[in-house]
Structure 1
């Protein structure tokens, strides 16, 4: 057919749209609320504006490339991993203050582990225990962040 454009790689085309849209939105909205300045005397908004324009340019380049270079189609969306990981992060955020870092981190690992078809409960419990202790050591002991370790009643 004459006058129609054929996309060789749908995945790249959609990624290009995402990059171009985010870059343009960032350059238009976020960067313009600060003074721009000049390249010799940059203002606070100069660097974010340049990054937004560059990201939009990369997006356009990816879109043009997707018209020429063939690629794979879009993969099937897997809902179990998506929902499991989302639930794990929301649960962690809701549990952190009242139940402390140890329990919240363990819940994050256990619920997040459900996203894998190779989930084994015993291994997940051991991993959750190790990562919870590691999180407390790193964030509370070493970095000194004021996070509750134990449940607050």
Structure 2
């Protein structure tokens, strides 16, 4: 790992996470037909990102060894996951939360570690359906459902 890069990345992600938490305060706390407001997910995700960034910054200061090699950055994997994230955001409303999250996770898992397709399928399906069920049914929130052409 590149300690200097990790430290700067941690600082940038800490700022982004803090901005998400602060920005979520200006989003309405309730939505039509939902007991959970639109501000909950950005606030939780921003706080999680900020906490993980603090951990990364702490770890960079804790490392005592100087690195003797330069790590090559993997631009191909970054490009694939970045493109998948942009497509996920673009098609979330059109194809629904469950399908778009499932596809995004499958692409991410297979990009990071090729093989183990069945494990990736299982984790992606359980996570996307589980989050949808917990948020929509248990918390009475609203997420884009399945597309109408599927008949659900």
Q: Is the 8 A contact 1:81 1:114 kept in 2?
A: no
Structure 2 unmatched runs, 5+:
20-53
Match of 1:39 in 2: none
Q: How well do the aligned residues superpose, as a CA RMSD in angstroms?
A: 3.7
**Once the 2 structures are TM-superposed, how far is the Cα of residue 114 of structure 1 from its aligned partner?**
2.2
Q: Is the 8 A contact 1:96 1:104 kept in 2?
A: yes
Q: Does 1:108 align with 2:104?
A: yes
Q: Distance in 2 between matches of 1:91 and 1:119?
A: 23
Aligned pairs (5 A) from 1:17-96? 18=8, 70-96=66-92
Query: What is the DSSP-based 3-state SS (H/G/I as helix, E as strand, rest coil) of the residue aligned with 2:96?
Result: helix
Q: Distance in 1 between matches of 2:5 and 2:95?
A: 41
**Once the 2 structures are TM-superposed, how far is the Cα of residue 72 of structure 1 from its aligned partner?**
3.8
* Larger Rg computed on CA atoms: 1
**Once the 2 structures are TM-superposed, how far is the Cα of residue 110 of structure 1 from its aligned partner?**
1.2
Matching residue within 108, 126, 129 for 1:130: 126
Query: What is the DSSP-based 3-state SS (H/G/I as helix, E as strand, rest coil) of the residue aligned with 2:145?
Result: coil
**Once the 2 structures are TM-superposed, how far is the Cα of residue 88 of structure 1 from its aligned partner?**
2.5
Q: Deviations over 1:100-127 (max 9, x none)?
A: 1111111111111221233333332222
Structure 1 unmatched runs, 5+:
1-10, 31-54, 63-67
Q: Distance in 2 between matches of 1:74 and 1:141?
A: 49
CA pair 80-13 structure 1, distance change in 2 beyond 3 A: closer
Q: Distance in 1 between matches of 2:148 and 2:126?
A: 22
Query: What is the DSSP-based 3-state SS (H/G/I as helix, E as strand, rest coil) of the residue aligned with 1:131?
Result: helix
CA pair 138-72 structure 1, distance change in 2 beyond 3 A: farther
Match of 2:138 in 1: 142
TM-score (normalizing by structure 2) = 0.52
Q: Distance in 2 between matches of 1:94 and 1:84?
A: 15
